[in-house]
Structure 1
Amino acid sequence: MEKVLRVGIIGAGGIARGAHIPNYLKCGDKVQIVAVSDVVIEKAEELAKDFNIPYAFSSYEDMLEEVEIDAVSICTPNKFHYPATIAALKAGCHVLCEKPPAMAVEEAEEMAALAEKIGKMLTYGFHFRHSPHVDTLKRFIDAGELGNIYAAQVTAMRRRGIPGWGVFTNKELQGGGPLIDIGVHMLDTALYLMGYPEPDTVLGVTYQEIGNRKGVGLLGTWDWDNFSVEDMARGMITFKNGASILLETAFAANVEKHDEMNVKLMGDQGGASVFPLKIYQEKHETLIDITPSHLPKEDFHEIELGRFVDSCLNGSEPISTPQQGVYLQQIINGLYESAEKGEAIKIIQKSLV
């Protein structure tokens, strides 16, 4: 009889309902969702009822103690990623934690160290990594088609895309705004395609010019009176291998496009734009552009959750690792610190063990 992965859900919000649970269910007999927890018990009970999940709890500690669980999805606000991950790992569970890893670098480091110590999987919800665009480009990169990738441009911009739901504009619960919410997706995508180089220095600036006043909302009406995060962040990251990234991200900015999420890479043998995928090269004394005639239209979350389940069942390493999570957290927090201090920040590495 094949092993069935018993999964628990921590946090009963939109990402659990819209992405994690439906895609676990697509895994068929390989997965059984056995419990869900949320501090608002009514939300947990409603989610359990809607998806026929046997148990609902108001405390993930109680859920982890009372139900036999092999793996958990952590779908809480950012502030609670760290304590929920630590509790799940200590309970002997594999963990898929939504992005970002945590609120502080020290938290991400402790999460990674604990996962390594107890031999359990810890991976993060960077679903853009699992897109056909990224999979395809990664094959080209691994074959040397771009050569040494020494520069990248990361864009995650919305014209008026401040979320009108959830806690996305609450700095205490989220740690920041577009940088830590949408910018982190494109930043992770760039880092993954670049081989996740070790960061060296960061220089960042943040702005709050639009979000704290009434305006047009393309993603619902937000609470501008209590808007406590940045509405735009810009930055530059340099790496120990000499590479660099320029980053620009915003919930609200006076730009042409309503929504733009993209990564551009520049190597000594070629370059690429990821969304949509296009590769730029010079061959046979000719500048050429390569565009796929077809890429499968797949749900990035479905691929991500399927790969997580397979890794839990067969012991393979996920493509998003705890050490990468630490590097990413160092960059995000470094950019915020740089913006606050008005100076570049040097990133100092330390052993996770």
Structure 2
Amino acid sequence: MTDTLRVGIVGAGGIAQQVHIPNYLKCGDKVEIVAICDVAFEKAQEAAEKFSIPNVYHTVDEMLAGTKLDVVSVCTPNKFHKDASIAALNAGCHVLCEKPPAMTVEEAQEMADAAKRAGKFLSYGFHYRHSKEVDTLKRFIDAGELGDIYAATAIAMRRRGIPGWGVFTNKALQGGGPLIDIGCHMLDAALFLMGYPEPTMVFGATYQKLGTRKGVGLLGDWDYENFTVEDMARGFVQFANGATLVLESAFAANVKIRDEMNVKLMGDAGGANVFPLEIYQEKHGALIDVSPAFLPEISPYEREIKRFVDACLGGEPPLSTPEQGVKLQRILNGLYRSAELGEAVRL
């Protein structure tokens, strides 16, 4: 086992420069970022100069052929997750791919199969799993404090939070809007805390009411004339164990709160609100609310990268697995399919 991981970055956009590269650098001598590539070659050159990355390439294939790597971070639009991840896995690299896994269930399954054949880790950038709130609540759940979790709500709602940058409003490159972008974060956090139960049926509805017209942009002005994704999605998921989950996700909706990311859980021994963390129980003849007086501060992005690096160096396996990625992708695509058909879809 190598003492220093040689890391390559695919995609030189915001998530690479603001999250992956800085947090790899925080891992010290465990990591050396040795290569970066982007189809927009000038952007890769700029990032390489900014972070002193020695090798710059145009494509992932050129990077894999030109530089020996142990780990690859895939930081591209969703459309390119599959090909970049599989190429890196086939080259013998561990892969940390940004969320969501892919555009389709078939692509997510291909990625999982490639990871299994290669015997390498494939993990996804669901950084909310690594938040102090989820980290703490998971220990309470594992200790039986909530009992059988039979109902959940996942919320990712913005009042006017359509991204004014990137390709987030381009369905051809992203596969969808808030559901597949921010909704998948809260969906994954809920599923993770529930033990990733097997989904059996979904019912979804999507709306495009606000994104296609000019309006107030709290995240910058967006290209409303080329807005091709939903601006809101709602869904219902049923699981094989009888549990259910309700999901709400929006880039833009007429609600009071500016931005809400949250998960709510209900079990037969207790319930919980995740952000901020509160636990609700009945004990000793009283209804009690429990909230932590202190939780250690750490960036969930930093913890995600550190845990992935440690896993690649022989530590505990990553929290996010390829199999979970396939399951989550089934729910996402099932909800979009249900919205298209106007009826429930069995998975």
Give the C-alpha shift of residue 118 in structure 1.
Answer: 1.7
Give the C-alpha shift of residue 34 in structure 1.
Answer: 0.3
Q: Does 1:272 align with 2:288?
A: no
Structure 2 contact 232–252 (Cα < 8 Å) conserved: yes
**Unaligned runs of at least 5 residues, structure 2:** none
Give the C-alpha shift of residue 298 in structure 1.
Answer: 1.4
Which residue does the alignment assign to 2:198?
198
Give the C-alpha shift of residue 113 in structure 1.
Answer: 1.2
Deviations 1:103-139, CA, capped at 9 Å, x for gaps: 0100101111111122010000000000110110000
Which residue does the alignment assign to 2:286?
286
Q: Does 1:145 align with 2:145?
A: yes
Which residue does the alignment assign to 2:223?
223
Which residue does the alignment assign to 1:109?
109
Distance in 1 between the 2:308 and 2:126 partners?
12
Which residue does the alignment assign to 2:68?
68
Structure 2 contact 122–321 (Cα < 8 Å) conserved: yes
Structure 2 contact 147–268 (Cα < 8 Å) conserved: yes
Which residue does the alignment assign to 1:317?
317
Which residue does the alignment assign to 1:189?
189
May I ask how many residue pairs the two structures share in their alignment? 347
Where do 4+ consecutive residues of structure 1 move more than 3 Å?
none
**Unaligned runs of at least 5 residues, structure 1:** 348-353
Q: Does 1:168 align with 2:161?
A: no
Letter of the structure 1 residue corresponding to residue 180 of structure 2:
I
1:4-83 correspondence to structure 2 within 5 Å:
4-83=4-83
1:223-242 correspondence to structure 2 within 5 Å:
223-242=223-242
Distance in 1 between the 2:178 and 2:114 partners?
29
Structure 2 contact 38–44 (Cα < 8 Å) conserved: yes
Say which SS state the counterpart of residue 32 (structure 2) adopts: strand
Distance in 2 between the 1:262 and 1:290 partners?
17
Say which SS state the counterpart of residue 230 (structure 1) adopts: coil
Distance in 2 between the 1:124 and 1:16 partners?
14
Distance in 2 between the 1:17 and 1:78 partners?
17
Which residue does the alignment assign to 2:249?
249
Letter of the structure 2 residue corresponding to residue 96 of structure 1:
L
Give the C-alpha shift of residue 2 in structure 1.
Answer: 6.3
Give the C-alpha shift of residue 81 in structure 1.
Answer: 0.2
Distance in 1 between the 2:225 and 2:296 partners?
43
Q: What's the % identity of the aligned pairs?
A: 69
Deviations 1:142-194, CA, capped at 9 Å, x for gaps: 00000000000010000000000000000000000000000000000000000
Distance in 2 between the 1:249 and 1:125 partners?
19
Deviations 1:232-290, CA, capped at 9 Å, x for gaps: 00000000011010000000000000000000000000000000000000001100000
Distance in 1 between the 2:75 and 2:35 partners?
13
Structure 2 contact 2–313 (Cα < 8 Å) conserved: no
Distance in 2 between the 1:316 and 1:150 partners?
29
Distance in 1 between the 2:17 and 2:192 partners?
27
Structure 2 contact 5–70 (Cα < 8 Å) conserved: yes
Q: Does 1:95 align with 2:56?
A: no
Which residue does the alignment assign to 1:344?
344
Which residue does the alignment assign to 1:120?
120
Structure 2 contact 96–125 (Cα < 8 Å) conserved: yes
Structure 1 residues 280, 101: closer, same or farther in 2, change over 3 A? same
Distance in 2 between the 1:282 and 1:29 partners?
49
Structure 1 residues 140, 298: closer, same or farther in 2, change over 3 A? same
Q: TM-score, normalised by structure 1?
A: 0.97
Say which SS state the counterpart of residue 314 (structure 1) adopts: coil
Letter of the structure 2 residue corresponding to residue 311 of structure 1:
A
Distance in 1 between the 2:158 and 2:315 partners?
39
Distance in 1 between the 2:186 and 2:315 partners?
28
Distance in 2 between the 1:300 and 1:256 partners?
27
Give the C-alpha shift of residue 323 in structure 1.
Answer: 0.4
Give the C-alpha shift of residue 316 in structure 1.
Answer: 2.9
Structure 2 contact 171–228 (Cα < 8 Å) conserved: yes
Structure 2 contact 79–103 (Cα < 8 Å) conserved: yes
Say which SS state the counterpart of residue 112 (structure 1) adopts: helix
Q: TM-score, normalised by structure 2?
A: 0.99
